[in-house]
A and B are shown apart, each in its own frame.
Chain A
Amino acid sequence: MALRLKLVPDTTTINFFRWQWLTFGSSIALMIASLVIVAVMGLNFGIDFRGGTTIRTESTQEVDVGTYRSALQPLGIGDIIITEVFDPGFRADQHVASIRIEAQENAEAATPETVARVQDALREIDPSITFPSVESVGPKVSGELVRSAVIALVLAALGIGIYIWFRFEWQFALGTVVASVHDVLVTVGILALFQIRFDLTTVAALLTILGYSVNDTVVVFDRLRENLRKYKTMPLRDVMNLSVNETLSRTIMTVVTTLIALFALLIFGGDVLRGFVSTIIFGVILGTYSSIYMAKNLVLWIGVNREPKANPKAGTKFADIDA
């Protein structure tokens, strides 16, 4: 026998419904908690969504946030947020900070004068400072970006729901959509809790989570559909347990390879991507959890029509494809 790393034993008979009230209940609780956290703490919107200017500074001297702040205070340009940026990829003498300035009043567009004044003030205290990136977004665009982001998420959830409905049954579609909404919602809650910056790429991350979560759920449902045909008299709950157990090894393998790639990005991918990647990591873990514990519970409660269908091959339409 060849040596194999096995994350999951060959056959498992875990009863995934044993703690169903606890698991499902905590999912519901997490969703409510996320909503509350977002409502109370708010999201740390980046300039994409609230307008304003971000200036990235780079210097050979250490960043002293206090000095920066006192240099910029006299300019009277409203709220300034200064954060030092760390990354293992930086050189020893590479000190990076990010300065965020609020959208200036009665200015739709970016204000080059303000940016120039900030840059001059910083050059005064640190002649070696450079500005690798300056980004400004006006409040008009940022409002539209919020709208299109919400539209994107809703459209994606709807599109997925409709596809699953066509390929499976409406119960499965509902379970899938609810599970993926759960993943996205709780991820947003985590972003609010840790005040991770929420910008356009975060929306891309949320859409990716949606895709991944559905991907995972579909694999379980695909097996469930197959087993429902195979074991016509077995209670639905047992067929579900069997299907999750049979696909458990794959579920774990895929989440591990995906996380391997994501952690490589998190550690080596640079600070610009960090928020994006950590968001996807939260979502992938949640997605795995919800496809095991959440989606199928919903389907179980709604029930599935197990009468033989007119076309028994409907579900394995693609199984005839031959290479």
Chain B
Amino acid sequence: MLQIPLWKRFLIWGICALAVLFAIPNAFYGRVESHNDALAAVAVQGTAPTPQQQAAIESWPSWMPSGLMNLGLDLRGGAHLLAEVQLSDVYADRIDGLWPEMRDALRAARAEVGSIRRAPSEPGVLRIQISNPDGIARAVQIARGLAQPVQSVTGTGQNDLDVRGEGDTIVIQLSEAERTATDQRTLQQSLEIIRRRVDEVGTREPTIQRQGDDRILIEVPGIGSAAELKSLIGTTAQLTFNTVVNRTTDANTPVEPGQELLESEDEPGVYYVVQATPVVSGEQLVDAQPAFDQNNRPAVNFRFNGSGGRIFGDYTAQNIGRPFAIVLDERVISAPVINSAIPGGSGIITGNFTVEQSTELAVLLRAGALPAGLEFLEERTIGPELGQDSIDAGRTASIVAMIAVVVFMVACYGWFGMMANIALAVNVIAIFAVLSLIGATLTLPGIAGIVLTMGMAVDANVLIFERVREELRAGRNAVRALDEGFQKALSAIIDANITTFLTAVIMFAVGSGPVRGFAVTLGIGIIVSMFTSIFVARSLIATWYAWRRPKTITV
């Protein structure tokens, strides 16, 4: 084992050098962070950097790696929310929106079904009583006729409504397939809206992710409190449909009272003069989906609720051939021309869209307001001072632990202990390097994981050294003892580490937040420590042996 081929030595020390290189940015955290932020800002603004940005960019050499560990909320401060999307809200909205249409359709068949009235019912279910029970079969047939195929991949061929007759009552609710499809849409929509809202404040690295079937996890570093974050998410985008008065390229076009000059979203330099009072607003929009028009060009289908549908129907009937503006947050995202009256509350927006654009427009349209209420299951606010205190405490603890372990190892194993210590130092540096490379998040328990690794990482070397001592006592010469020591200790080292690694994997899979942070550092620590205590320590000892050529050794 003391003969290590040259290429292997290069490989081992090359990896160590890389570890140091990738860990270095963390030692200059503030500087590298402002460097990265400035670069990102310049990329977004698309213009030459301001002098401050230039200075920030130059403060860290561009040829150096600039990956940093993310600091978790508990270290940086910020807000954490776990929200549950109230999916059944959407069912109720949909079913309520169905009533006017149903009523009109059934009225047309009054001769067969008699008079109709909406019976009281739980939310999400529409019950319509008819005065002529004999006509129930016909009524159910009419109601089924209004059902539409489910718009989803899995639900093809199924209808969105479940209609059955119960005596003199038609019971209508969303079908299972439609519910699944609606749930998917609602959650995706909620995610998009929240992301849009959070991105507007432009904080660094917010986490917005789906959890389980109906939950969304939102973590925003640097925000003052969870209450602030909640009000930010609650603010709905203002989506309105306005009458277009004029289209212009002059940003200084004078406008009359009651009119507004709005910029176009996708045509640079184009402005629209619109009536300030909207025809319909986004609160009345129930759904928007990317689709294709009759000429197979990308378009967007949308649907209003009952009252919105009526207003929109009347307006479009009176304004065929004129454009109207779809305005989101004071910007015109599209100004299509009305081709025909759009009764019934649903319509199609056509234009020069690509498929991507129509999808995006549908998203933007839906993004007007949250489709369903959010209930907050978990709220956490951590102040930045507390985070800084934790970082300081963690740093002190790490340094003290490191020094104590180093001294103890030297006291017990002399020179060999020193070599194990070098391996330990490489170990800690490499943990930071891996964390930065994969962009992992460091939490307070994560720091504890690193400190714990310091204590446990020397275990492998302890196993080896104790084994070498035994071999020496058994009368083997230096080379044999070292050789055997490394070889015989190996199976114990590997078994012991794999079992610990298993627990780290399970912690990562089942745990959340800070626990995950701990699992990540513990897991990385185990893998890295196996490399350092076996390869790095061995290489060090081999070099030392080749240099000193001792006849006898004392471990």
Binding site for B on A (CB under 8 A): 1-7, 10-11, 56, 58, 87, 89, 108-110, 112, 115-116, 130-138, 140-141, 148-149, 151-152, 155-156, 159-160, 163-164, 167, 200-201, 203-204, 207-208, 210-212, 214-216, 218-219, 222-223, 226, 246-247, 249-250, 253-254, 256-262, 264-265, 267-270, 272-273, 276-277, 280, 315-319, 321-323
A to B CB contacts below 8 Å, 17 in the list: A89-B389, A109-B377, A112-B227, A133-B383, A138-B378, A152-B510, A160-B502, A204-B507, A208-B503, A208-B522, A214-B499, A216-B496, A219-B463, A219-B496, A257-B409, A261-B404, A319-B491
Interface SS of B by simple majority: helix
**Taking the nearest CB of chain A, how far is it from the CB of B41, in angstroms?**
30
Q: Which residues of B contact A261 (CB under 8 A)?
A: 401, 404-405, 451-452, 454-456
**Interface code B527-555, partner A: CB below 8 Å = 1, 0 otherwise?**
00000001100110000000000000010
Contact A264 B451 (CB under 8 A): yes
Interface SS of A by simple majority: helix
| CA A257 to CA B460, docked complex, whole Å | 12
Interface centre among B74, B227, B495 (most CB of A within 10 A): B495
Partner of B401, one of A138, A148, A249, A260: A260
| CA A36 to CA B308, docked complex, whole Å | 65
**Taking the nearest CB of chain A, how far is it from the CB of B504, in angstroms?**
7
Q: Which residues of A contact B378 (CB under 8 A)?
A: 110, 136-138, 141
Other contacts beyond A110-B378, A132-B386, A280-B452: 19, CB < 8 A: A1-B554, A112-B226, A131-B381, A136-B226, A148-B511, A207-B507, A208-B503, A222-B496, A250-B466, A254-B458, A260-B455, A264-B397, A264-B400, A265-B448, A269-B451, A318-B491, A319-B488, A319-B490, A322-B1
Partner of A265, one of B401, B470, B506: B401
| CA A226 to CA B404, docked complex, whole Å | 33
**Taking the nearest CB of chain A, how far is it from the CB of B495, in angstroms?**
5
User: Inter-chain contact count A-B, CB under 8 Å?
Assistant: 269
Q: Which residues of A contact B413 (CB under 8 A)?
A: 4
> How large, as a class, is the contact surface on chain B?
35 or more
Contact B377 A269 (CB under 8 A): no
Q: Which residues of A contact B514 (CB under 8 A)?
A: 200-201, 204
| CA A121 to CA B548, docked complex, whole Å | 72
**Taking the nearest CB of chain B, how far is it from the CB of A172, in angstroms?**
10
| CA A322 to CA B398, docked complex, whole Å | 33
Binding site for A on B (CB under 8 A): 1, 4, 8, 74, 82, 84, 225-227, 230, 375-383, 385-386, 389-390, 392-394, 396-398, 400-401, 404-405, 408-409, 411-414, 444-445, 447-448, 451-452, 454-456, 458-459, 462-463, 466, 469-470, 473, 486-488, 490-492, 494-500, 502-504, 506-507, 509-515, 518-519, 522, 534-535, 538-539, 554
Q: Which residues of B contact A163 (CB under 8 A)?
A: 498-499, 502
Contact A167 B404 (CB under 8 A): no
| CA A305 to CA B509, docked complex, whole Å | 36
| CA A231 to CA B225, docked complex, whole Å | 66
Q: Which residues of A contact B451 (CB under 8 A)?
A: 261-262, 264-265, 269
Contact B515 A204 (CB under 8 A): yes
| CA A194 to CA B530, docked complex, whole Å | 37
Q: Which residues of A contact B445 (CB under 8 A)?
A: 201, 204, 273, 276
Knowing A215-B500, A218-B495, A265-B448, say if A207 contacts B506 (CB, 8 Å).
Answer: yes
Partner of A133, one of B375, B380, B456: B380
Contact B511 A200 (CB under 8 A): yes
Q: Which residues of A contact B397 (CB under 8 A)?
A: 264-265, 267-270
Q: Which residues of B contact A11 (CB under 8 A)?
A: 473
Partner of B503, one of A3, A109, A210: A210
**Taking the nearest CB of chain A, how far is it from the CB of B427, in angstroms?**
13
Contact A260 B386 (CB under 8 A): no
Contact A108 B500 (CB under 8 A): no
Partner of A250, one of B376, B389, B463, B494: B463
Knowing A200-B512, A204-B519, A323-B538, say if A167 contacts B503 (CB, 8 Å).
Answer: no
Q: Which residues of B contact A151 (CB under 8 A)?
A: 510
| CA A189 to CA B84, docked complex, whole Å | 35
| CA A249 to CA B394, docked complex, whole Å | 30
**Taking the nearest CB of chain A, how far is it from the CB of B280, in angstroms?**
32
Give B536's nearest chain A residue, CB to CB.
A323
Contact B385 A132 (CB under 8 A): yes
What are the nearest 9 A-B pairs in CB distance?
Answer: A261-B455, A270-B393, A264-B401, A132-B386, A258-B455, A211-B503, A132-B383, A211-B500, A222-B492
**Taking the nearest CB of chain B, how far is it from the CB of A247, in angstroms?**
8
Give B400's nearest chain A residue, CB to CB.
A264
Contact A109 B375 (CB under 8 A): yes
Partner of B379, one of A109, A156, A250: A109
Contact A262 B1 (CB under 8 A): no
Interface centre among B82, B386, B487, B513 (most CB of A within 10 A): B386
